[in-house]
Chain A
Amino acid sequence: MDATTVLAEINGHIAAVGYGLAAIGPAIGVGIVVGKTIEGVARQPELAGRLQVLMWIGIAFTEALAFVGIAVGFIPFP
């Protein structure tokens, strides 16, 4: 079986690939946000509450990109 036949046999939604690509950035971003928060709390445990609020806000901003990635797949392009 040559390469073109294999390619032709792959089916599914191209949006899934798009979402996979869109998820890379937010994944790294959320990792950095949470990691830094843990670092901060380890250094100054008394700031844990304040840092957690900031962490959720940071995660919310970062992961929005991933959700845009999901949403774009559902937009019907002509």
Chain B
Amino acid sequence: MPRLASDGEFHGPSIDEFFPEILFTVAGIPVHRIHLVQLLSVIVVVLLLVLGTRRMKVVPGRFQSVVEMGLDFVRGGIAHDLLGRKDGNRFLPILTTIFFMTLFMNITGIIPFLNIAGTSIAAVPLTLALVSYVTFIYAGIKKSPGGFFKNALFPSGVPWPVYFIVTPIEFLSTFIIRPVTLMLRLLMNMVVGHMLLVLCFAATQFFFFTAGGGWAALGIGTLAFGGAFTLFEILVAVLQAYVFTVLTAVYIQLAVAEEH
């Protein structure tokens, strides 16, 4: 959102950034620009993965090896590392999907002219968190229904009166706090990152063109900060995709773990 300080005062970013005006409606569903960004990133990730793995060669070309590196990172670095080879392969499709979807929707936050992360409205992180939630509960119930709930709610090795305190806490932390924090972590990282970038660049624009004069020196500072935060946002985008996938893998691992 370009923020012209027409009345000569500085306007910082607000939460309205994430509720832009509705562009058009499709079958009664209102569509705004963040939805279009999400659609675009989905198209890009599907195209990249399909084109990258369509005609695979034993000796990969440059493009194929980049795609293979990404896929192998999820398989070797996350799935096999945390879940082992057998369970890792079972849950590889969902982990790969979560990783690439999150990564490509995060990275739109720093791409010029898109400038907003697809994951910065609650719907996408919420959906991903629900997928992760259903997956780890499914994994646990599939393994052994009794064992899963016993491990989750009644951890062994404590005297039985302690269960009156431990069980409600474990229930809260496993079945409520886990999905909520998965969603909040991703959403808030993206919201805050966008706010910081808007603040830096809106201040730069204000110092250069509205305040002018000596203020322009400050504008150079805020521009440099904006640049630094852009680099930081790339790191955050990759890191949050990684963290989301790793946490999903860890929750699955805890669910399928043997009784201890």
Q: List the interface of chain A (C-beta within 8 A of B).
A: 53, 56-57, 59-61, 63-64, 67-68, 70-71, 74
Contacts and interface: CB of A to CB of B under 8 A. Distances in A.
B91 interface: no
A71 B185 contact: no
B81 A53 contact: yes
Contacts of A56: 239, 242-243, 246
Interface in B189-235: 189, 191-192
Given A53-B81, A53-B82, A74-B15, A67 B243 contact: no
A64 B181 contact: yes
A56 B239 CA distance: 9
B23 to A, nearest CB: 24
Interface residues on B, range: 10 to 19
Q: DSSP class of A's interface residues: helix, strand, loop or mixed? A: helix
A67 B250 contact: no
Contacts of A74: 15
B188 interface: yes
A70 B188 contact: yes
B247 interface: yes
A60 B184 contact: no
27 contacts: A53-B81, A53-B246, A56-B239, A56-B243, A57-B243, A57-B246, A57-B247, A57-B250, A59-B243, A60-B243, A60-B246, A60-B247, A61-B181, A63-B185, A64-B181, A67-B181, A67-B185, A67-B187, A67-B189, A68-B181, A68-B184, A70-B188, A70-B191, A70-B192, A71-B184, A71-B188, A74-B15
